[in-house]
Amino acid sequence: MTWVLRGLRWVRWYTRELTDESAYDRYVAHKRKTHPGASVPSRREFERMRTDQQESDPRQGFRCC
Amino acid sequence: MRTANPRSIVIWSLVALVGASGWTVLALSRDEEVSAAWMVAAALGSYAIAYRFYSKFIVNRVLKVDKNRATPAERLDNGIDFHPTDRRVLLGHHFAAIAGAGPLVGPVLAAQMGYLPGTIWIIVGVIFAGAVQDMVVLFFSTRRDGKSLGQMAREEIGPFGGAAALLAAFAIMIILLGVLALVIVNALADSPWGTFSIAMTIPIALFMGFYLRILRPGRVSEVSLIGIALLLLALVAGRWVAESSLAETFTLAPSTLVIWLVAYGFIASILPVWMLLAPRDYLSTFMKIGTILLLAIGVVVTLPTLKMDPVTDFASRGDGPVFAGSLFPFVFITIACGALSGFHALISSGTTPKMIQKETQVRMIGYGSMLMESSVAVMALVAASIIDPGLYFAMNAPAGVIGDNVQAASQAVAGFGYSISPEDLAQAAKNVEESSLLSRTGGAPTLAVGVSEIFSKVTGGSMKAFWYHFAIMFEALFILTALDAGTRVGRFMLQDMLGNVYKPFKRVSWKPGLIITSAVVTGLWGYFLWVGVHEPLGGINQLFPIFGISNQLLAAVALAVCTTLLVKSGRLKWAWITGIPLAWDATVTLTASWQKVFSSDPRVGFFKQRSVYQDAIDDGKILPPAKTMEDMRTVVTNSTVDGVLSAALALLIVIVIADAARICVKHIRNPRSSKLSEAEYVESKLTVPAGLIPTQEEKAELAAAKAKVSGDAKAPS
């Protein structure tokens, strides 16, 4: 059973990474490491910031034909 | 001198044998039906050898990737767009970004020449041109902090070549969007099932958008699961709608669909990203990866028989109904994505370089992803070649040639040298629950028929209609996403250009500028869409070659930049790595443009076509397939626009190549005069494998690194 669980965990990890669902956790970890004292945005604020960024430069994340 | 171990010699000899036997059967079979298994064998065998030997040679000997040099992701890590991403994740990312409708449409259209020319070009093209381009662009952009192709062209070639490259990219974007929209219109016209299902993707995406924005920010996987469930429901519900009294509401004529699509494209592109674009993108990514996997499994499990001829007579005669012109050069521009696609250079030089962990991974991400896309193109070619050739031509010839009823179509197909009875044509449409399949040009419906054939072999014959509409929805989904995203990118370019004339345009948040530029971009591709739908000679027939030329033109820009960079970085000896693909691509594209402009065959040459129809108008005659004087005038206008466009595109390519050649010659004469804008060398602290599976040596390094820094073990292996 353990390999089934491991497989499922891997799929979960992969989808979270692929869809960038893990972006917030990654950002927080990065911020904590580089600026330990600084305040961290809430998830809501962070996700808004991310879409705003995509808005201002649509070439980010552009897909091909 | 290294010595290879006996085991790997045996393994690679076997791989070579599999590939070679695939090619032999494909090449030698005449007048008998061949299994698609041979095509799969030829493709996979060739890919494996190319990846193992050629790509390795390029990264080690030519690019000299350095695993000790930190990538922009490591140096500039900001936790957002620059961050070292696991190679397996990045492979998925990059693949999802490069593979779209392109590799599915081109091969289907090129199947009119038979399956052999397409197969050869897809496989040989990807190995020596397409995958090389993607990988080399990725490498050079990684060395330049993820600069875009346009920026690299400007910095390394010069402002003139750079401006030409930018203008070309804009023109290409417009034509791409027009042609993709045309593919959708041809698939959805008079199809209540398809139209309803696609229309439902808009409320589904809106719901997902609000969910992610307001209810549970960032929870992408759960909302995608809900979205996919709703999408499948919409697909099933499409059949109920088509059988109910609502059917009429969703039965739309092509010209009505054009208006809807243009309106959609405009509104979607001025709405905030989170509302429609982002959620739709999640849906289409999941659908894309899922369907491609399913298709791969379906092809391998059923191993269908190819019914199309290996090479049809149209290849040499050049009078094919799908697109005019002979095998050379038109197969090579019709199949772009899957063999060599300039568009990929925009992905390889934008997002991906900011995420790659190691230079050594460019091989797996750049070359590997492109091989994967190529295999998608091979599957599309399989899907188009397993359906009855008679049906294929009835679906892909313009309405003006084929007529509007099954009897006329059957006769027209007989005129092409194939046969299908009117009953069979009617039955084929009935099988997928469409009113008609005649002249469903653009590739998507043909692919959908092929896919439904393959999938229903696995799931039983009764599911044919479901799978047909599943495939249509899957393509329409990412074409609609492309319309939205592409309009935004086009707008961004336009804002940038207009910003030089009137400052406020540069501020992307300036609302009037946003609306004006959005309207201009949508208007431009809307024009081509409108023209395509009303073209008496067939929109795909006329426009697809221009689309192919423009895409290959972008590839020429990318390859010219790569070649210049190889020369400037002291790799003159290896400049042929991208130089030969560039020469080939330029030959193909320029020959195609030349023929499109100057050919004396009115089916091929736009200006000849123009004069033939103009002369007829002057004489007061109406030439078929035009039916009225109005049609005649439409042909004259369209062929003028198309001809001028082909000439302009060809001119741009010549400018870029000439400018690149000038820089190369200058460098060779005086190497010290040119400067290279490479980012500084910083030593990398990351220890990660280069390929999918770590080698023994890499495993030891990983273990050593782990022992050194215990803790911080986040990513499971």
B691-705, pLDDT tens digit by residue? 999 999 999 999 999
Burial B682-711 (b: 16+ CB within 10 A, else e): eebeebbbbeeeeeeebeebeeeeeeeeee
* pLDDT recorded at residue B676: 83
Over 90: is that where the pLDDT of B354 sits?
A: yes
Q: What's the mean pLDDT in B539-563?
A: 92
Name the residue in chain B with its Cα closest to that of A43: B217
- Residue B28 CB neighbour total at 10 angstroms: 9
Between B675 and B8, the higher pLDDT residue? B8
Round to the nearest angstrom and report the end-to-end CA distance of chain A: 42
Name the residue in chain A with its Cα closest to that of B214: A44
Q: What's the mean pLDDT in B132-145?
A: 97
The residues facing B35 across adjacent strands are B305
Chain A environment of B277 (Cβ under 8 Å): 54
- Give pLDDT tens digits for B594-626: 999 999 999 999 999 999 999 999 999 999 889
- Give pLDDT tens digits for A2-46: 999 999 999 999 999 999 999 999 999 999 999 998 899 999 999
Nearest 5°: phi and psi at B358? -140, 145
Over 50: is that where the pLDDT of B497 sits?
A: yes
**Residue B313 has what DSSP assignment?**
T
- Give pLDDT tens digits for B300-344: 999 999 999 999 999 999 999 999 999 999 999 999 989 999 889
Over 60: is that where the pLDDT of B714 sits?
A: no
Chain B environment of A25 (Cβ under 8 Å): none
Confidence of residue B299 (pLDDT cuts 50, 70, 90): very high
Confidence of residue B484 (pLDDT cuts 50, 70, 90): very high
Cβ–Cβ of A61/B78 closer than 8 Å?
A: no
- Residue B402 CB neighbour total at 10 angstroms: 27
Q: Give the C-alpha separation, B650 to B591, whole Å.
A: 9
The residues facing B34 across adjacent strands are B306
- Taking CA atoms, B367 is separated from B121, B372, B692, in Å, by 17, 9, 13
Q: What's the mean pLDDT in B515-522?
A: 96
* pLDDT recorded at residue B712: 53
* pLDDT recorded at residue B711: 54
Tokens encoding A54: 């995509």
Nearest 5°: phi and psi at B713? -100, 85
Chain A environment of B343 (Cβ under 8 Å): 64-65
Cα B553 to its chain centre, rounded Å, is 14
Whether residue B115 contacts residue B381, with contact meaning beta carbons closer than 8 Å, is answered with yes
* pLDDT recorded at residue A64: 67
Asked which of B149-153, B212-216, B357-361, B392-396 is least confident by mean pLDDT, the reply is B149-153
Chain A environment of B217 (Cβ under 8 Å): 43-44, 46-48
Which of A5, A8, A28, A63 to mutate to test binding with chain B, by most B CBs within 10 Å of its CB? A63
Closest CB to B218: pick one of A9, A24, A56.
A24
- Residue B301 CB neighbour total at 10 angstroms: 11
Q: What's the mean pLDDT in B470-478?
A: 92
Over 60: is that where the pLDDT of B715 sits?
A: no
Name the residue in chain B with its Cα closest to that of A57: B492
Nearest 5°: phi and psi at B569? -95, 20
Rounded to two decimals, what is the model's pTM?
Answer: 0.95
How far does the CA of residue B98 sit from the closest CA of chain A (Å)? 5
- Give pLDDT tens digits for B178-230: 999 999 999 999 999 999 999 999 999 999 999 999 999 999 999 999 999 99
* For chain B, percent of residues with pLDDT exceeding 90: 85
Mean pLDDT, chain B, rounded, equals: 93
Between B710 and B412, the higher pLDDT residue? B412
Give the residue carrying structure tokens 């259209």: B109
- Give pLDDT tens digits for B99-117: 988 899 999 999 999 999 9
Please give the angle made by the CA atoms of B256, B244 and B238, to the nearest 5 degrees. 65
Nearest 5°: phi and psi at B406? -65, -30
Over 80: is that where the pLDDT of B29 sits?
A: yes
Name the residue in chain A with its Cα closest to that of B275: A51
Name the residue in chain A with its Cα closest to that of B547: A65
Over 50: is that where the pLDDT of B90 sits?
A: yes
Chain A environment of B212 (Cβ under 8 Å): 47
* pLDDT recorded at residue A65: 64
How far does the CA of residue B518 sit from the closest CA of chain A (Å)? 13
Chain A environment of B490 (Cβ under 8 Å): none
Closest CB to B485: pick one of A16, A50, A62.
A62
Mean pLDDT, chain A, rounded, equals: 90
How many CB pairs below 8 Å do chains A and B form together? 128
Q: Give the C-alpha separation, B493 to B499, whole Å.
A: 10
Confidence of residue B717 (pLDDT cuts 50, 70, 90): very low
Chain A environment of B508 (Cβ under 8 Å): 55-57
Tokens encoding B453: 């054939």
